[in-house]
């Protein structure tokens, strides 16, 4: 019996999801040397390591090709399969993006609360003279512009690091 378009699409989507969950990617099967050797030989590793050092973040060890080692606190979590240095590096990129997004959200929330507190102070104050009233209105406008900027999303461009066989 022939499959309907909807059923073919469901199966195609399921195969794509399973392929994304699979460890590594299409290049993993083609690699002639492990990522750990490439990492050790490449002069550009400082582009990765220096920002981490500045942020006081320990540098992940990609100098050996073994599997990922996770903290004991995570032993009950569903963890990704990262059995070699390339998969650990890919997992690190994903984790750093998630961490940056989470930290950006916290910073955004903090700044919003501080700006809202300043706006509340302005709402509760009554300037005595017209010059102070004008300064208050200018400050309120400036604070509202800041809130409007915090409403926006930003995008960063990265080189593609995951490759499928499609």
Q: What distance in Å separates the CA atoms of residue 143 and residue 122, rounded to the nearest whole number? A: 10
> 3-class SS at 21?
helix
Cβ atoms of 39 and 63 closer than 8 Å: yes
Tell me the mean pLDDT in the region 15-21: 60
| Global pTM value | 0.75
Read off the pLDDT of residues 87-143 as tens digits, 9 standing for 90 and up: 999 999 999 999 999 999 999 999 999 999 999 999 999 988 999 999 999 999 999
Residue written as tokens 């606190």?
Answer: 73
- Concatenate the DSSP letters of all residues of 93-145 into one string: HHHHHHHHHHHHHHHHHHHHHHHHHHHHHHHH---SSHHHHHHHHHHHHHHHH
The pLDDT assigned to 142 comes to 97
């Amino acid at each position: 019996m022939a499959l309907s378009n909807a059923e073919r699409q469901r199966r195609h989507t399921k195969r794509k999801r399973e392929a994304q969950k699979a460890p590594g990617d299409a290049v993993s099967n083609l690699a002639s040397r492990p990522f750990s050797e490439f990492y050790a030989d490449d002069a550009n590793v400082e582009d990765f390591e220096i920002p981490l050092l500045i942020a006081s973040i320990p540098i992940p060890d990609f100098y050996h090709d073994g599997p990922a080692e996770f903290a004991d606190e995570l032993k009950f979590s569903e963890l990704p399969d990262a059995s070699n240095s390339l998969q650990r590096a890919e997992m690190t990129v994903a984790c750093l993006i998630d961490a940056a997004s989470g930290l950006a959200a916290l910073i955004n929330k903090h700044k919003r609360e501080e700006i809202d507190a300043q706006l509340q102070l302005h709402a509760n104050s009554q300037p005595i003279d017209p010059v102070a009233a004008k300064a208050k209105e200018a400050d309120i406008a400036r604070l509202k512009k800041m809130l409007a900027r915090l409403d926006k999303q930003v995008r960063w461009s990265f080189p593609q690091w995951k490759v499928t066989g499609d």
